[in-house]
Structures are given as C-alpha cells and as structure tokens.
Amino acid sequence: MHKEANEVLLEIKGLFKKYDDMTVLDDVNLSINKGEVVVILGPSGCGKSTLLRCLNGLEKIQGGDIRYRNKSLVDKDVNWQEIRQHIGMVFQNYELFSHMTVIENILLGPVKVQKRDKNEVMEQANQLLDRVGLLDRKDSYPRQLSGGQKQRIAIVRALCMNPEIMLFDEVTASLDPEMVREVLDVILGLAKQGMTMLIVTHELSFARAVADKIVFIDKGKICEISDPDEFFTHPKTERAQHFLNKFQY
C-alpha cells in the first residue's frame, strides 16, 4: 500500500492499563503514520480491543502517554468530544442507535456535534451510502437490516464525521460468514483511498491484504511489529508462530 510523508498521527508510549489487579496492557509502544493501515493481531483476551478503546477515551489508563498530532490525550483537561471527531470508531456489535433510522444515525454526529449544515452532510451521507451500496436503506431502522448491512452503516456513520483515523474493533466478529466479505471490502476500499486505520481483527488473510504493518500482541505486550508478508511467512517470535499455527488445518 502507499505510504505518504512520514507524518506521525498517533503515538502510544509506554501505555499501561489494568482492571483491578489484572494487567491488561503493559508498556505498549506504537506509532501510526498518516495514511498507514495498522492491523493488530493476537489471541482472544490479549488486550487488543482494550488498546483501541483507550485510543477513543472509553477506558482510563494507568500509565504512559497517548499523543494525537503531538497533543497528549492523558491530560485531565483533554476534550474527548473534540478528539473523537478526529478518531472514529466502529464496534464489534455495530451499535447503531436502535431508535433512529439509518440516516438519523449518520446525521446525529455531524449535525449535533460538529454543527455542520444538514444539507451538506446529507449529500455526503448519500454519497457514502451509495458507495457501500445501501442508499436505498437510508430510512430503515437498524432492526430491519442484516448484520453486514448494519456494520457498513456503522462505518458510514463514523466516516461522515470526516475523521483522520478510523479504529475498527473486530468489526466482523459478530457477522455470519457470508456477510464478512461485504464489510471487509468497504475497509479495503478505504485503505486504497489512503485512510489511516487501526484494525483489530481475526481475519488473517484480510489482515495480510490490507495491512501496511502488523502488530502482534500477546498477554498485553507487543511481541512484534512486522511487515505483513514477513509476519505471515517468517514470524519473528515463537508466540506469533504458535498463534499462526492455530489457524492452519
């Protein structure tokens, strides 16, 4: 994939996170350049989802620093509302607002939070919906949509805020197998356009196709950061080797 100028957007330094007595993330260091697609892999419960949640201010951290455009996000006076407009997030269970139609879901953030002109946002929303092939569902309620459709809408909802970075938290994990593809295609399309993304997933072949960089986490620690081809053919650590073996029949 293409790499633009090595402008660092997000930088994680010595991140430490624990729930009660259990350490979930331990001394995590990672930086994400503009236009880069970083895929985080690792066994279940290794802390990869927690890492994404920290980057969106949904979890408090106990140590280290997270910097967005060189501005620390661990200061007490950090305005998460502002930051979240630049760092979009898509969840495993879609989490569309169940009482709103598709278009209402999409407009809520741009119109109420960003105070943008409704017509302008509507136009953008229509374009995005068209791109994911769901323009005709814009007045549906989430309960009328399939999982794959809901997830594509959730991606549109996040994109419509014009974020600089997108976080994807196991977005295909709740989907029926036949719907995984339609969602991954959307993300692949975004990668081609140069969107900066941080993706947590279990879809290994997708990871290999989309990633500029693979980050392997185990037991809350980053074990290795590699080029995708290198990671899948010659993983540096035994743990990564072990992890990859589990997916082979």
Partner 1 sequence: MNLNWQFIIDSLPLYREAAWTTLKLGFWGILFSLMIGFICSIVLYFKVKVLKTIVHIYIELSRNTPLLIQLFFLYFGLTKVGIALTETACAIIGLSFLGGSYMAEAFRSGFEAVSKTQIESGLSIGLSKTQLVRYVVLPQAFSVSIPSIGANCIFLLKETSIVGAIAVVDLMNVTKDLIGMYYQTLEALLMLVVIYLVMILPLSLILTWLERKVRYAEFGN
Would you tell me which residues interact with partner 1 (CB under 8 A)?
Answer: 56-58, 80-82, 84-85, 88-89, 91, 93-99, 108-109, 112-114, 142-143, 150, 157-158, 161
Q: In the complex, what is the shortest distance from the CB of residue 122 to partner 1, in angstroms, rounded to a whole number? A: 16
Reported residue count of the chain is 249
Instruction: Spell out the residues 6+ positions from residue 197 whose beta carbon is closer than 8 angstroms to its own.
Output: 36, 37, 38, 165, 166, 167, 168, 187, 190, 191
**What is the three-class DSSP state of 178?**
helix
Q: In one letter, which amino acid is 31?
A: S
Sign of the torsion formed by the C-alpha atoms of 2, 224, 71 and 120: positive
Which of 114/237 has CB closer to partner 1?
114
- Beta-strand relationship, 8-19 and 63-68: antiparallel
Give 67-73 contacts, CB < 8 A, sequence gap 24+.
67/10, 67/11, 67/12, 67/13, 68/9, 68/10, 69/9, 70/8, 70/11
Which of 118/242 has CB closer to partner 1?
118
Q: In the complex, what is the shortest distance from the CB of residue 234 to partner 1, in angstroms, rounded to a whole number? A: 37
Q: In the complex, what is the shortest distance from the CB of residue 113 to partner 1, in angstroms, rounded to a whole number? A: 4
Which of 157/239 has CB closer to partner 1?
157
Which of 68/94 has CB closer to partner 1?
94
Q: In the complex, what is the shortest distance from the CB of residue 244 to partner 1, in angstroms, rounded to a whole number? A: 31
Q: In the complex, what is the shortest distance from the CB of residue 182 to partner 1, in angstroms, rounded to a whole number? A: 17
Which of 78/244 has CB closer to partner 1?
78
Q: In the complex, what is the shortest distance from the CB of residue 154 to partner 1, in angstroms, rounded to a whole number? A: 8
Among candidate residues 76, 154, 151, 158, the one with its CA nearest the CA of residue 113: 158
Using the structure block, give the residue that is written with the tokens 């979009």: 88
Cβ pair 201, 247 in contact under 8 A:
no
Which of 91/216 has CB closer to partner 1?
91
